[in-house]
Amino acid sequence: MADPIATNSTSAEIRARIKILPARQPYPYQRLAVKVAQLRALGMTYRQIADTLHISENTAMRAHQYHQRSLSARPPPGSPPRASQNKARD
């Protein structure tokens, strides 16, 4: 008679429960940043933008600030890479 422990110890199946969490969605002001920046460039106030997009004035301000920060973090088109990027490539 075969040993039941020996036959079970070679099994490759393991029961496990894995919880897959949803990816974090961007905040509303992040999704609206480009649109708010376009409307600001047209001369609209934060209040006018908020009324147009059905958001709060605070969200309109945060979206514009987020857009400005994202632009300042990127190098201008056609500019050479920074020295810190060159060291990483070596």
pTM over 0.75: no
- Nearest CA to 67 among 22, 38, 33, 41? 33
Per residue in 54-85, pLDDT tens?
999 999 999 999 999 998 877 767 767 666 55
Orientation angle between helical segments 46-53 and 57-73, nearest 10 degrees: 110
Q: What is the residue extent of each domain of the chain? A: 25-73
Per residue in 43-55, pLDDT tens?
999 999 999 999 9
Tokens at residue 27, please?
């905040």
Q: For residue 46, which amino acid is it?
A: Y
Mean pLDDT, to the nearest integer, of 1-28? Answer: 73
Q: What is the pLDDT of residue 85?
A: 53
CA 88 vs CA 80, 81, 83, 84, 85: distances in Å: 14, 11, 9, 7, 5
Q: What is the pLDDT of residue 4?
A: 52
CA angle 72–76–79, rounded 5-degree value: 135
